[in-house]
Amino acid sequence: MGIKYSSKINKIRTFALSLIFVGIFVMYIGIFFRTSPLVMTLFMILGLLFIIASTVVYFWIGTLSTRAVQVVCPSCGKVTKMLGRVDLCMFCSEPLTLDPELEGKEFDEKYNRKKRKS
């Protein structure tokens, strides 16, 4: 079984959504410390910080998404956004590239890493 890839934009959005759930869970843990207002407040503030971090990540990916290259997926025909040299279609996970050197090669996220100059 191979590695399951998804588009970069979807990965970042999933991370931001998970920050919201973690924040709510941390706040929920704070309820169990009602007898200690200091500890309860600490958990509530920590949960709020997770939710604020999620808002920042959503804002960042939103601005990044507006600058992403829009391409038509050859497989499903839908317009999708690409970040980097290689990415996957947001709808059908078809490997996409705009780099002629990578045309026909097997998909690997390593192609997006910057090459170190020796």
CA torsion sign for 2, 7, 8, 10 is negative
How would you classify residue 66: left for phi > 0, otherwise alpha for psi between -120 and 50, otherwise beta? alpha
d(CA 91, CA 83): 15
Distance between CA atoms of residues 14 and 11, nearest Å: 5
Residue 1 domain-assigned?
A: no
> pLDDT tens for residues 49-101?
999 999 999 999 999 888 888 888 888 888 888 877 777 887 887 777 777 66
Let me know if 110 is exposed, middle or buried by CB neighbors in 10 A (0-12, 13-18, 19+): exposed
Domain with 99, as residue range(s), is 69-111
**63, 73: one domain:** no
pLDDT digits (tens, 9 = 90+) for 30-50: 999 999 999 999 999 999 999
Examine the domain organization and report whether 40 and 13 are in the same domain. yes
